[in-house]
Structure 1
Amino acid sequence: MPSDVVGFEKAYCEYRLNRMENALKTIEATSEKSCKLQELYGQVLYRLENYKECLDVYQDLLRNSQDDYDEERRTNLSAAHASLALWIVFFQEELGIPENTYELCYNAACTLIGQGKMKEGLEKLKNILCRQSLTEDPDVAEEELQDELSVIHVQMAYVLQQQGFNDEAMQLYSQVVKGRPSDVGPLAVAANNIVTLNKDQNIFDSKKKIKLTCSEGVENKLSKRQQRAVNLNRALLAMHTHQVGCFGWVSALVTLYNHQEDINAAVGVLNEATWWYQKHEYLYFQPGSAVYLRLMKESANYKIRHNRENEAVADLEQLWKQNPEDMKTLAQLISAYSQLDAQKAKKLSKYLPETDCISLKVDVDQLENSYGVTHMRKRNVKPTENQLQPQAELGKKKKQKKKKKGKLPKSFDPSNGPDPERWLPMKERSYYRGKRKTKKKEQIGKGTQGSTTGGAAELDASKGVSSPPASPQPGSGGASNVVPPRQQKPSTAGTKKKAKKKKGGKGGW
């Protein structure tokens, strides 16, 4: 397999995996660059935002290629030209490419916008007949058509916003967001620009819109300049909503290092945090803000707890300079200097207020007449012998509980000991004889339906019978002595058992 084919396949896989740096190295390492590899080279350069080199690659391809893909190359060439004008410099060179497709017309409009010609760019965007040109092709789906329209609408809204027509721009942005195109690029741009129009108003709507800029794959659709603008707007929105989420990291790191008994690392985190806030305080907070002062105070307290007074002195001095009336900070500073420099501590102690100023004015008579403490705790005093004697007498008077004898079974014979086999199951005991087999008195329920054992002798044909009974003559009042089976009763039914009377219970019938 030729080296250019292997190089193209490898570079294309890296391009599809968004590994642009690796794809660029693979292409540059390939000695023979075919036309197909040059096309991929231009795409990689465009994604890496090397628009000038990308422009040269596509111009070379248009000069040296002879196939049916010149229209796609012109489109990519115009896209690189427009990006160069938008993001890098005001590129004034004209390409001279006919604008016979809506892509070429859109790229030309973006070039005008990048050159600062907002009115001309807006007019060109309005003249793009995207819907008419796309609907002529039956292979284009409605979803793809909406994606193309959303790109044009976002660009038009941006131009209107730059010209000061914020209401019209907001209407177009909202239309794109409600349509939810499948392409996350224009959706993220529209949501970000809505946040910029809202500014510090309508914060709830801005918080909902800013989430659309965090969708999966957005970083591959936006340029570095666009990503930087989106991240800045996220930070500004978090500042307006007081949701700066980095305060907890300092305390979390200090706590972790403290558990590991790495005091040097914990102090280093505190020093780095105080230095950062001191350097960037003008960006995020007012001078002497509560956040900065709180951080300095916690840093000083942590250093004092771990016997680092020489490092805590600098933090305490800055705190005292911010608020000279804070006597607690001054007292901590004097206490720290007393272990380092006694002369400095004595000099600072002059700033402490005199005892006459801090003495409390107490009315002694009122204090004595007050109710005082309603409950006093008893002191743990050892009891005397006189106190122990009554307690001993009380202990004697208490009746001792009698131990109850265990209950014996009724069949227990005191002369004979308990059965040694009582712990074994009944079937395993030596005197077990098994259950008695009881014969059934009568076999009830056998035979044909309705028959009984009482008539078996009469139905036995083996026994000799002299002559069958004569049937009654018609008109005689006699009847047969044989009772039909359904009217027979069993022979044992002669003795009736007396039914026991039930006691009437509650709710009984």
Structure 2
Amino acid sequence: MASSIPALASLLKKSDIEDHDEILKSANHAIKQSKNDLEAQHVKIVSLLNLDRFQDAVHAFETGGDKLKEKASLEYSYALYKTGKSELAAEIAAKGSSRGFQHVEAQARYRTEDFKRSAELYKILGANYENDAEADLKINMGAVDAQLEWNGLGDLVQKKKPAREDLEAFETAYNAACGSIARGEMAQGEILLKRARDLCNALEDLTDEEKVAELLPITVQQIYVLGRQGKTAEADKLAHTIDLSSIPDASTRYIAQVNQAAALEETVNPYLTQRLVTKDVQSLKPDYPFNFQTAILNRNRYATELQALKFDGTAESTATAIKSKPSPNLDAFYNSLSVVNAVATAKGQKGKDALKLIVPLLEKRPKDVGLVLTIVQLYILHGNSNEATATLQKFADGLEKSGDAEALNVRFAPGIVGTLVSLYHNDGRTGHVRLEMSKAASYWRQRSKSKSSGVNGLLKAAGSVLLGSQDSEDHKLAQEIFQELYAQDEGDRYAAAGLSASSKSSSSSALTPIDRLVAKIDIDELENAGIAQLPSSTSATVTTRKRSAEETKPKKTKKMRPRRMPKDYDENKKPDPERWLPLRDRSTYRPKGKKNKARQAMLAQGAAPATDSEGSRPATPGGDVVKGKQSGSAASKNKKKSKGKR
């Protein structure tokens, strides 16, 4: 052993840093002479890792024993990570304290989808780059931020908008695009993906083959974004530029295959599509997709089965999967399975026919969040908001009465509370809105101080609603809510504004000072301009309807046809303005004859009736109208009718 170490050391001094094959040969030769030579075994491990022979490195660790694993624990954790054993790699790396261990643990945590811990480690590494490549660290940190967004942990992301330096390399631009896509900003994601593609094509130090390999994930992501934006023609055209067989990564190849099938503009055989999309994700290991990708792929598989009219099989398989997860729960995947199960149960029916088949499922799964929300949505689409409100209210009351901690978390989840408040608001039930907000705020205030962004948003909405109440208790609760939110984050302007509105003596540095707001206001100019007056009650009502483009266009004057014009029509002669009035109401009217003259005089204001005029008679005196005697013929007829039996 003593003779092998100097020989190996001299070889390492003479060898080039890239000549790992020679180093490996020398290490193997030393190990043959002494199997327990830890130094030679360590050198062999390093050589195998530099040659990307990770599986051989793990095998060497297993044959070397625990002492070798303890001596080269950093290399051991890295080898495990590269061979897909990320959980064990993270556990081993977490025991070390050096910067190298933090790198390995951060990467292993990323692969095990512990993105919160991975973000914490990269934040520590990014505080001081030391000898690390700054660009590589930024790339990894951008990837972690994108995964946080995908997994609903966007409140942990410190940089939402990409900086200028993020647009200087295609890797960072691609990660920034993924973050925008995860937030639902598809247009921004499309722009950043195009930027990443242009930067990759502009690189001169990459060969054509390397550029193709780097552009593959960018192209796959572009197809997804174009499909989400409804640009099916562009997505279909871009999908045909990819050679699926040339993608080395199994999960990327499968995702590209699914996106290509989804981007087809023309209608294809749904049975062929279902066969193409259906694949066991577990078979893709170690290059298996992340959980959020797996959930989407499974939903796509169920969607193709529904298109292929496989209702019974889909209903049975989704029901089995739903039972494996205790209810109620807020798991997005299992709640989406409830939606698929409802569609399969309805067997293509819509409206009332679908509700007749889906509503009975509530008796079997009364705590299924996805099923309840599906039924509520169907009621709303059918125009039955009262039944939708009653269904969700009954579901919420059942969870509240159960007293179970998990059930209460679901009951007062921001999504459930927001949906119920929206239904109350549409029905005009203001009191129910305030009561629901008050109950939700009281519940979450009793929980831990560190709340998620969704809960904080719910508390802000509750405080805003309670401020509009006439009850002093509601005002007090609103003030307490905003005090807690402001204490949690003094830079939160919404919380500061709410605290100022709920408390008379409250000031915050987060709000713009009043002096700055009124600094550019000229008081004299305002006084000279006068005060705007409200319209009077007798004035005409002002409508706020927006006029269409047709109404704003000047109307063309229609030319009257010659046959519709009067015989004596003259364009140069001004028409009589009183031509629309009756003849006797015109100013030029002059009655003829004594009778018409007397009638005209009688209608004049202040004129007395002409009793001596010919054809006139005195007016009927006021009072009750007295019925006169009947004429002789009529009286005789009545007398004859009165005879007979009495």
TM, length-normalised to structure 1 = 0.43
Larger radius of gyration: 1
Q: Larger relative contact order (C-alpha < 8 A, sep ≥ 6)?
A: 1
